Structure formats: structure tokens, C-alpha cells
Amino acid sequence: MPDYGQIPVGSGTLDARLILGLAAVLFILGAVGVLVRRNPLVILVCIELMLNAANLTLITFAAQLHNLEGQLFALMTMTVAAAEAVVGLAILVDIFRVRDVDDVDQLSDLKG
Amino acid sequence: MALQATALVLLVLPLAGAFALAVLALRVPRWAVWAIGPGVVWAAFVCTLILLADSFLQDRAHDFTYWTWIQSGTFDLPANLLVDRLSIFMCLVITGVGGLIITYAVGYMEHETDPSYARFFCYMDLFVFSMLLLVLAGNFVFLIMGWALVGLSSYLLIGFYYWRYSAVVAARKAFVMNVIGDIGMILAAFAIFVNYHSLTFSGVFAALPRADATWVEIIGFLLLVGAVAKSAQLPLHTWLPDAMEGPTPVSALIHAATMVTAGVYLIGRMHPIYDVAVWAQGTAALIGAVTALMAASIAVVQTDIKRVLAYSTMSQIGYMFLAVGVGAYAAGFFHLLGHAFFKALLFLAAGNVIHALNGEQDMRRYGGLWRQMRWTSVCFLIGSLSLTGIFPLVGFWSKEVVLGDVFSKPGTTYFPQALWAIGFATAILTGFYTGRMWWMSFAGRPSADRPVEHPHEASRVMLVPVAVLTVLTAVGGFIQINAGFHPGYKLVEDFLAPTLGHLPWHARDLEYIPTAATLLLGGVAFLAAYRFYVSFVWRPWSGAVPRLQRLLEHKYYFDEAYDQMFVRPMDAIASGADRTMEEPVLEGAPAGVAVATQAGAGALSLTQTGYFRTYILVFLAGVVVAAVVLLLVRAF
């Protein structure tokens, strides 16, 4: 019965809980950042942070379960994150062209 | 094979004519409309003559199957036409008399605008097609299609002057009444299908010998509903007088010569059913006799010449129902033929008068037309005498055969003889109202308020068909002269015998006595009308019985009763439904949905703050909730 709590890292092993905890912390940092920061660029960065936290959990579980699908999916997430960054930045650049925005709350034109 | 094609061409030609007129009407000159409108009917007449010649030479019925129309499991419906003696006989009447009438219409409708003119002939050709489909049908589906299509063309032609309110109302009334009959026909077809699993005539008649008698009676009565509605018999007769709103050629063709006799044709065609369904057949005879008497009595007080003729048509069709109702099929069809001749003649001659007097139809405003419209007067007189049943015109022979056969029918009860008595009384009344119509219109002095002082005789295109019909009326009766004589000869009965069989009983020796009495009293009544309405030697009979006059003038209050019984309650239900259902529910529901959607959208749009963080917060909160729920589900 292999010990799923320990995952091999280099020549030794590491407790999976540490890595998952790190991922959780990163994710919360990102989420809170999205919620509280106003600068649109920082918000994009925070979204990247959350995505990477998710990636970290994916590869951790992949290592734990000896299943390559998690790693593959992390690659997939990176692709999506890249695309998302491109689209998000493009939108921002476009917005900056017409007006100078330093607070996302200024972009509330769709208020019902 | 050639014959099979002939039958199809006969049927399709008038339809092609109607279609061509509908498409080309406004692009072709009038002479093209003349060529197409009556032309296709005459071409169909030639096709009928070919079939007739074959029928004489070969003496066998054809059941032409063109293709399989419906195939479903074990059920098979062929598209077939039945060409036997009976359908050829009817086709002769439809295309022959129809051709004459449509030719007449070329002159009668000359004052119409070009679009109306073409529309008229388009409808007429459509009617001829529908009627041919009705009589050539070899299965109940085609029969019902033809049945409904003649109703449609009748509706279109009654409402021909659609800018006249009364015409539109009359057309609607005729249509509704006819649809009642159509429903009877369709129910009959259902009953037939359920019982015999076939809808072709041959299949149904083959299944009849082992059929359940109750069902045969039910089918007989259902078919009778259709026949009664189409032939304007009691109690579905009220549409026919109103149908006179249509142009006069329409009244002559549809509401006298052909369509209204479809009920007689139906009973004749279905005679294997009616030979078994004695109650249904007896009812047909009773309805016929009562309608004959009632319609004749109403005709006595009508003042509109076309309405007199309409009631007279109802009355004469009553005779035909009486004949086929007692089983004297050939007599019924002989009277159908004779009636087609003399009633078409009367209508067309009346049309000449109406045409000459700028559309005036009130006989009280005629008078003295004998001197000014000699040809029309002579023709009308011959038609009138034929209607009265004067020797040797066709009306004499055909009517006396009907009455004689009914009189002679043997049996344990005196039911046929009682019906004969009604028919006898009707014949006397017929003489009286016909005389009244003739004397009032053509004899005496011109009425003071006649719209045209010096009316002109009709044009040749109108006189020739009238003259042809006059000749047919005068000598047409000699094809069957067994009324009162015994044995005489009887070409109509012999011709139809392969389909309808011979009369199963012989004339009584005494039959010449009622025949002579009918002839004599009818003639006397015709002459007596002169003393009432022209010389005024006798005071008006209505003075003695004002109540009877009022009853007759209100047509036995049928219209009023139907108004009270059906129209008013339906109106009340409809307006009640309008108030309680239509407005609050049917109209309210869509409006309510719209209002609710708008209000809901307004309320929901409050959640659209436009702030990015709000959306993210809701999103994350949703993720958290979902995660908590998943964990809880996992835990328990």
C-alpha cells in the first residue's frame, strides 16, 4: 500500500499537504486580490495567481495518484491562461485608448 | 384504355378551364373567356357522349382505377372513377344542361366588369368539375370531396355579388347548412369504414349482405342527412330560397338543375344500402312528400319570381325524394331529368325578363310582358305548363310516373298511398302557383311601376339555349311514356336498369284514374289563378284566411325558429365567451406574460451593479457554496 501522503520530489519525498496548503494560500491570495484590488492590471495578475494555484493542485494530485492526466490538464490550463491573458490585456489596451482608467469601478457602464 | 382516359379527361377538363380562367382572366380578351368558360363544358359533354355510346354498345359498368391513393396496412384506397349507366346519366344532365346554361350566361353576364365576368365562368367551371367528381366518384372519399366542393362553388356563386350584404349572408347560410350535411356524410363514411373496412362502392356493396341491419340503418340515416341538406329538404331547406341572391344562371344550374339533385343521386347510388335500410328509406319518402307540399304552399304567396321558382324546385325535388324513397328509383331519376329541363328553362326565361327589366324580380311589377317579349313568354309558358304537368310535356310524363309508381306500390300498409295523397295535393297547388306566376308576369296590363316601360327581347346567345331547353321540355318526355298507360315504353328505366334495377312492382289497373285527376285538377288550378290574379273575378283567397296567409308568408316560421333555437343561443354563447374567456384569458394571457416579464426584468436588473468586484464576489461565493455542499454530501 503506497503512502499517498508522501510524494517523490527529486531523490527524497515531500508531504503532499504542504504543497496543497501552499496552493490554497496562493489561491486565496489571488481571489482576495481580485476582490479588493482596483488596478485592472493587478487584477489580471491575481487571476494568473489563482490559475497557477489550481495548476499546483493538479500536478500534486497527479503525482500522488500516479496519473498523468492531471499534468496534462495543467498544460491545458497554461494554454488557456495564456489565451486569457492575451484577451484580457487586449481589452484593457482598448479601454485605455479611449479613457484613462486606474480603477475597475469606473467601468460600471453596464449598471442595470 | 381509351375509355379510361376519356373518363379522366371528362373530369379534368372543367377543372383545367377553371384554372386557366383563374390564371389568365385579366390578360385575355372576352372572347377567350367565352371560348374557355362554356367551351370546356361542351368538350366534357362530348366526352360524356363517347362514354354513352360505349355504354350502349357494351352494356357494362366500368370501375376505372387510376392509381392507389392511400395504402395503410390492410387498407387500400384506389383513386377510382365509376362509369356506369347512372353516372353517365348524371354527366349528361350536368354537361348538357350545364353547357346550355353556361352559354346563356355569356349574354346574361355581359354587363359585368371584365374581372367579374371571368370570375363567374371560373366558378362555374369549378362547379361543373365538382359535380362531375361527385357523380363519377367510385369511393366515398371522392364522393365527399365532390360533395364539399359543390358546396364551396355554390357558396362562391351565391356570394358572387359580394358587395351586397344580403348576398354574403345568403352565401354563408347556404354554406353552414351544407356543412351540416357534409358532417352527416363524413360520419356515414366513418361508420362504413368501421363496419366494412372498405371505402369503395364496390367493396361496401359486396359486404352488405352479411352486414348488421342496425348499422345499415344508421348509415342510411347519416347519408340521408347529407342528402337532405344538399337537396334543400325539410328541415335543412331554408338556404335555398336565399340562394337566389346569386346570378340567375347560377340559380338555374346549381340551385335547380344539378347540385340540389345530388341528394337524389346519392340515394340512387346508395340504393343497395337503402333497399336494406327500410326506415331510412321511408323517412326519405316522408321528407320528400312533406317538403313537396310545404314548399308548394309557400310558393303560392311569394312575390319574387326567383323565389317562387326556388320553392318550386324544393317541391319538385320532394317528388324525387318521394320516388327514390319508395324504391321507384328510375321514376325519381326521370323526374330529375325532366325537372332539369323545365326548371332550367323557367329560370333562364325568368332571367331574360329580369335582364330586360334592369334586375327587377318582383312579379307585381311585371305584367303584360306577353306583348313585348313574345319569345321569352312562349318559352316560359311551355316551362310553366310542364311544371304544372300538362300533357304531353316532359313534366307530365315524369311527375305522373312518380305519382303513379307511389300510388301503385303494393304493401301491407297504406303508407305509400298516404304519401301519394300528399303528392296529389301538391300537384294541384303546383298548378295554382305556377298559374299565378305566369298570369301575373305575362298576362294583364303592364304594372304601373314597372322599371322599364318597353323591355327588349333578350339577345340571341340567351334565346338559343332557352329555345333548346324549350324543345327538350316539349318533346323530352317521349323517352318514357308509361305514365297512366300500361305498358307504354320506358327508355329511362331500361337505360338505368343495369345500375338501379327495374321497378319491382307493376302499375295498378286503376293508375290512369289518379293520373287523369292530377292532370285535370292541376290544369284547372292553373286556369283558376287567372281569375284570382288577372281578371280579379274572384276575390283574393287570403281575405278569407288571413292567418294562413301570414303563416305562409313567414314560411312556416322556420327561419324565425332557427334564429331562436340556434342563432341566438350561439350568439349569446359567443358573446359570453368573448366577455369571460376571450378578453380576460386569451387576450389577457399574452399581455400578462409581457407585463410580468417586463416587471421581472426590471427587478432582476437591480443585481446588475456594473461593478466587477460584485460579480466576482457572487461567483466566488457560489464556488464556496458548491464546495461546501459537495463536502456535506460526501460527509453524510
**DSSP secondary structure string, B257-279?**
ISGGGHHHHHHHHTHHHHHH-HH
Q: Find out whether B451 and B360 touch, Cβ atoms under 8 Å.
A: yes
pTM: 0.77
Q: Whole-angstrom Cα distance, residue B34 to residue B30?
A: 6
Which pLDDT tens digit goes with each residue over B577-617? 888 888 888 888 889 999 999 999 988 888 888 888 888 88
Is position A112 within any domain? no
Which pLDDT tens digit goes with each residue over A69-99? 889 999 999 999 999 999 999 998 998 898 8
Q: Whole-angstrom Cα distance, residue B46 to residue B44?
A: 5
% chain B with pLDDT above 90: 20
Is position A87 within any domain? yes
Find cell 354574403 and name the residue.
Answer: B168
Is position A14 within any domain? yes
Subunit contact B609:A105, Cβ cutoff 8 A: no
Which pLDDT tens digit goes with each residue over B544-554? 777 877 877 78
Cα–Cα separations (whole angstroms), residue A57 to A33, A82, A84, B13, B260: 20, 19, 20, 85, 91
Subunit contact B610:A43, Cβ cutoff 8 A: no
Q: Whole-angstrom Cα distance, residue A48 to residue B155?
A: 78
The shortest CB-CB distance from A108 to any of B605, B610, B620 is to B610
Cα–Cα separations (whole angstroms), residue A73 to A10, A26, A49, A60, A87: 22, 19, 17, 12, 21
Residues 6+ apart with CB under 8 A from B124: B37, B41, B102, B105, B153, B157, B249, B250, B253
Quote the domain boundaries for residue A42: 6-100
Q: Whole-angstrom Cα distance, residue B357 to residue B363?
A: 11
Is position A107 within any domain? no
Find the residue in B nearest to A106 (Cα): B611
Find the residue in B nearest to A38 (Cα): B613
Least confident stretch, A47-56, B52-61, B239-248: B52-61
What is the CATH number for A12? 1.10.287.3510
B609: chain A residues, CB-CB within 8 Å: 108, 111-112
Q: Of B357, B343, B446, B462, give the one whose Cα is nearest residue B398.
A: B343
Find the residue in B nearest to A36 (Cα): B613
H-type alpha helices, B137-277: 140-158, 165-196, 201-207, 213-230, 239-242, 248-252, 262-269, 271-276
Find cell 314548399 and name the residue.
Answer: B295
Q: Find out whether B484 and B515 touch, Cβ atoms under 8 Å.
A: yes
Give the DSSP H/E element, type plus range, for residue B77: strand B75-83
The residues with which B75 forms a beta bridge, in sequence order, are: B72
What is the pLDDT averaged over residues B322-347? 89
* Cell output for B471: 324543345
Q: Find out whether B347 and B247 touch, Cβ atoms under 8 Å.
A: no
Q: Find out whether B100 and B465 touch, Cβ atoms under 8 Å.
A: yes
B608: chain A residues, CB-CB within 8 Å: 110-112
Is position A108 within any domain? no
Q: What total of structural domains would you count in chain A?
A: 1
What does the pLDDT read at residue B5? 86
* Cell output for B195: 363496419
Q: Does A34 touch chain B (CB under 8 A)?
A: yes
Q: How big is the CA angle at B287 (ends B283 and B291), to the nearest 5 degrees?
A: 175
Subunit contact B612:A112, Cβ cutoff 8 A: no
Q: For the CA atoms of chain A, what is the radius of gyration?
A: 18
Q: Find out whether B226 and B191 touch, Cβ atoms under 8 Å.
A: no
* Cell output for B123: 366558378
Burial class (CB in 10 A: 0-12, 13-18, 19+), A5: exposed
Instruction: Give the gap in angstroms from C-alpha B622 to the nearest C-alpha of chain A.
Output: 13
Residues 6+ apart with CB under 8 A from B525: B388, B428, B429, B430, B431, B432, B435
Q: Of B535, B364, B375, give the one whose Cα is nearest residue B455.
A: B375
What does the pLDDT read at residue A2? 54
Q: Find out whether B365 and B447 touch, Cβ atoms under 8 Å.
A: yes
What does the pLDDT read at residue A1? 45
Phi, psi of B368 (to 5 degrees): 65, 25
Band the pLDDT of B199: cuts 50, 70, 90: confident
> Would you say residue B412 has pLDDT above 90?
no
Q: Find out whether B253 and B315 touch, Cβ atoms under 8 Å.
A: no
Subunit contact B605:A112, Cβ cutoff 8 A: yes
| ipTM score over 0.85, yes or no | no
Q: Find out whether B264 and B320 touch, Cβ atoms under 8 Å.
A: yes
With the CA atoms of B125, B126, B129 and B134 taken in that order, what torsion angle do they form, in degrees rounded to the nearest 10?
A: -140
Residues 6+ apart with CB under 8 A from B70: B76, B77
Which pLDDT tens digit goes with each residue over B147-193? 999 999 999 999 898 888 988 998 998 999 899 999 999 999 998 88
Q: Whole-angstrom Cα distance, residue B290 to residue B279?
A: 16
A34: chain B residues, CB-CB within 8 Å: 613, 616
Subunit contact B610:A109, Cβ cutoff 8 A: yes
What does the pLDDT read at residue B149? 92
Is position A59 within any domain? yes
